[in-house]
């Protein structure tokens, strides 16, 4: 063992910086959050070289008094807490006395700031934790941080950064989330002198979503505004048709802070599970408000993770709120045959424009012109949508609030290339009155049933439909405790590892209640002697191992809920398969059973049960309608 020595202060500062400053986006996050804490309502973020070469954060907040500037760059210097007890109740966003010290330890920093009461501002320069200069200058009220050459004195850390383009992408995503979390603040983001995002700061969340994610997503939103116990939940979630292959569109904020939480993420995904396919994730912009005494935000140096006092309660509250917002809607994807022109996926062209942070001239005139143009676009869009709609004259799909902007925005896209989700609150397809008008045309490819209703052609996947019916029937039997057991001869012997044994033992009482008979067979082996009698095709080693493996992942739900869900999903094994001929009577009976379900539009795996095609689309394809 080598000799133990004390590290010098420079090395200590660089090590501490690594906890806060992982990459350029971490610098932007800390400085922007400090600006918000300072009361700014307009913040500009400018970067070059992915933020590695240059970062400038400008705000119109309260500024830093001259006498406090040197102290602000010392470790453990902060205006946000005074004692350890304050860590439990602090509501500010910035780091607790480490951000500026950490940033200045690994970069060259220039600070320009002025308070409201000061006649002059101050310019302070610090590089590698060493103070270079401080002098009075003339400047507007607020604060500007310029950070150059990040990690210039720690090349080992710098080489682990991604390309400038990738690092810029991280910062762009961060600024978008900050804009969503604080719609009352005007954010401006420039990358290599090109404007990428500019929000109005008018407080309208739909405006932000519209210009970050586009019109197609903004028009598919469902609002949530509720309180569950101590938790206030508000914001928007997108209908299930809006899904992505990753979680990048899942935005949620706790007391104004963007966070990552396995508890919250799992609850949201679980609520969407009946409506979406596996490995597809929703778009959300949800705000949670919870007493700071019931959570801990100081779990990680970056404060991206939080810990709740009661995980199960919070999980259930969020699951219920999102499930209630999704329930009761008829959401049948509409297939279109008309191809639109190829769209460029450059999100910067969709960004909203807003006033400069310190510029207020010409605004009213430009706003009125933009409002007038937007109204004209909305009228044109409404006319075209009316032609495309299969709804009755009294039906209506709520549209997003018209967006107020300063610069012109792109023309609205009316046609849909792949699928469009429709929500119908009257005259549903699967309604007893509507059923009288159904005309079953026939079956194609031995799998899909064609049903004509009003000016729509509906296609029903018989396998997905039967899966859903069996799933709901099994859940009903479970709720009413109508169980039987089917004995297996010979029994199935399972060999489990320690984690699998623990999962089985945890859920064994629930499995026994619904008809399983499982007992220890010695060592790591277990004997499965019986399975639920109303489930067919599940008595195989592979399936039972898959069931136990799936239970390993479920750590937030109550035991009974986990097992009920997993066992109910087994019913899909008994569903009628595709390429199986059904009679008209059987098809009618299946549709009748679908009508009795709360959510007949998606199978238990999230695949659509029904899709539709409008008469309008068909007539366009056959050139009966031009344009």
What pairing do the DSSP bridges indicate for beta strands 121-127 and 108-114? antiparallel
Q: Identify whether residues 534 and 609 lie together within a single domain.
A: yes
- Partners of 137 in the β-ladder: 121
Whole-number pLDDT of residue 354: 44
Give the distance from CA 427 to its chain's centroid: 31
Distance CA 562, CA 509 (A): 12
The three-point CA angle 348-197-124 to 5° equals 135
The three-point CA angle 441-445-449 to 5° equals 35
Distance CA 230, CA 418 (A): 41
What is the domain range of residue 433? Answer: 428-627
Q: Identify whether residues 297 and 411 lie together within a single domain.
A: yes
Q: Identify whether residues 405 and 517 lie together within a single domain.
A: no
Decide if 2 is inside a domain.
Answer: no
Decide if 230 is inside a domain.
Answer: yes
Residues whose CB falls within 8 Å of the CB of residue 345, separated by 6 or more in sequence, listed in order: none
Whole-number pLDDT of residue 201: 92
Q: Identify whether residues 174 and 242 lie together within a single domain.
A: no
Whole-number pLDDT of residue 419: 38
Instruction: Provide the whole-model pTM.
Output: 0.61
Whole-number pLDDT of residue 174: 93
Q: Identify whether residues 479 and 584 lie together within a single domain.
A: yes
Last residue of a domain, one of 419, 450, 477: 419
Decide if 130 is inside a domain.
Answer: yes
3-state secondary structure of 39: coil
Q: Identify whether residues 393 and 515 lie together within a single domain.
A: no
Decide if 389 is inside a domain.
Answer: yes
CB 259 within 8 A of CB 226: no
Decide if 329 is inside a domain.
Answer: yes
Q: Identify whether residues 306 and 410 lie together within a single domain.
A: yes
Q: Identify whether residues 401 and 471 lie together within a single domain.
A: no
Decide if 213 is inside a domain.
Answer: yes
Decide if 3 is inside a domain.
Answer: no
Number of domains in the chain: 3
249 burial (CB, 10 Å; 0-12 / 13-18 / 19+) is: middle
Q: Identify whether residues 259 and 271 lie together within a single domain.
A: yes
Last residue of a domain, one of 362, 387, 419: 419
Q: What are phi and psi of 494, to 5 degrees?
A: -110, 135
**C-alpha distances out from residue 96 to 93, 150, 293, 387, 559, Å:** 9, 21, 18, 57, 39
CATH number at residue 236: 3.30.230.10
Q: Identify whether residues 165 and 219 lie together within a single domain.
A: no
Q: Identify whether residues 184 and 323 lie together within a single domain.
A: no
Decide if 4 is inside a domain.
Answer: no
Q: Identify whether residues 49 and 153 lie together within a single domain.
A: yes
Torsion of CA 98, 102, 104, 110, to 10 degrees: -50
What averages of pLDDT result for each successive group of 10 residues across the chain (627 residues)? 63 60 91 92 96 96 92 68 46 57 92 94 94 94 96 88 91 93 94 93 91 85 91 92 85 88 91 81 92 69 69 90 81 60 43 44 54 56 45 38 37 36 46 74 85 85 84 75 81 86 84 86 88 69 78 59 66 69 82 79 79 84 74
């Amino acid at each position: 063992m080598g000799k133990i020595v004390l590290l010098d202060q420079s090395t200590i500062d660089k090590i501490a910086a690594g906890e806060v400053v992982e990459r350029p986006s971490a610098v932007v996050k800390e400085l922007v959050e400090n600006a918000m804490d300072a009361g700014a309502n307009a913040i500009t973020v400018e970067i070059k070289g992915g933020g590695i070469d240059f970062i400038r954060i400008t705000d119109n907040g309260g500024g830093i008094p001259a006498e406090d500037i040197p102290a602000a760059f010392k470790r453990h210097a902060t205006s946000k807490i005074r004692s350890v007890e304050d860590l439990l109740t602090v509501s500010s966003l910035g780091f607790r006395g480490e951000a500026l010290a950490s940033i200045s330890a690994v970069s060259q920093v220039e600070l320009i700031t002025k308070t409201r009461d000061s006649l002059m501002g101050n310019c302070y320069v610090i590089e590698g934790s060493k103070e270079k200069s401080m002098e009075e200058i003339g400047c507007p009220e607020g604060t500007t941080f310029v950070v150059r050459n990040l990690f210039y004195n720690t090349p080992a850390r710098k080489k682990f950064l991604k390309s400038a383009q990738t690092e810029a992408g991280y910062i762009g995503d961060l600024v978008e989330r900050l804009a969503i979390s604080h719609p009352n603040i005007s954010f401006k983001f420039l990358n290599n002198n090109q404007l990428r995002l500019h929000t109005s700061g008018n407080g309208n969340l739909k405006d932000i979503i519209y210009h970050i994610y586009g019109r197609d997503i903004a028009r598919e939103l469902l609002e949530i505004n509720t309180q569950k116990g101590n938790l206030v939940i508000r914001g928007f979630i997108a209908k299930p048709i809006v899904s992505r292959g990753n979680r990048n569109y899942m935005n949620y904020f706790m007391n104004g802070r963007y966070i990552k939480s396995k508890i919250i993420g799992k609850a949201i995904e679980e609520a969407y599970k009946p409506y979406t396919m596996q490995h597809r994730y929703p778009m959300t912009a949800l705000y949670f408000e919870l007493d700071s005494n019931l959570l801990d935000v100081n779990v990680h140096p970056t404060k991206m993770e939080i810990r709740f006092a009661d995980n199960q309660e919070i999980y259930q509250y969020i699951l219920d709120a999102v499930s209630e917002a999704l329930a009761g809607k008829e959401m049948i994807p509409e297939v279109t045959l008309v191809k639109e022109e190829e769209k460029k996926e450059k999100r910067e062209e969709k960004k909203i424009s807003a006033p400069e942070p310190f510029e207020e001239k010409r605004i009213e005139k430009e706003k009125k012109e933009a409002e007038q143009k937007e109204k004209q676009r909305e009228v044109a869009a409404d006319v075209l949508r009316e032609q495309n709609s299969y709804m009755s004259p009294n039906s209506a799909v709520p549209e997003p609030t018209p967006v107020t902007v300063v610069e012109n925005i792109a023309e609205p896209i009316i046609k849909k290339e792949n699928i469009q989700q429709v929500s119908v609150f009257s005259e549903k397809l699967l309604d007893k009155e509507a059923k009288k008008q159904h005309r079953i045309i026939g079956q194609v490819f031995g799998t899909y049933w064609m049903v004509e209703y009003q000016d729509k052609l509906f296609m029903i996947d018989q396998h997905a439909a039967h899966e859903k019916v069996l799933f709901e029937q099994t859940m009903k039997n479970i709720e009413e405790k109508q169980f039987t057991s089917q004995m297996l001869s010979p029994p199935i012997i399972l060999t489990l590892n320690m984690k699998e044994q623990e999962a089985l033992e945890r859920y064994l009482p629930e499995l026994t209640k619904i008809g399983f008979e499982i007992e220890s067979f010695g060592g790591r082996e277990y004997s499965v002697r019986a399975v639920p009698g109303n489930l067919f095709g599940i008595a195989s080693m592979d399936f039972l191992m898959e069931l136990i493996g799936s239970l390993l992942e479920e750590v937030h739900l109550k035991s009974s809920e986990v097992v009920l869900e997993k066992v109910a999903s087994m019913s899909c094994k008994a569903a009628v398969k595709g390429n199986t001929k059904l009679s008209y009577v059987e098809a009618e009976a299946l549709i009748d059973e679908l009508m009795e379900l709360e959510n007949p539009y998606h199978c238990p795996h999230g695949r659509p049960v029904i899709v539709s095609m409008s008469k309008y689309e068909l007539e366009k394809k056959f050139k009966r309608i031009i344009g």
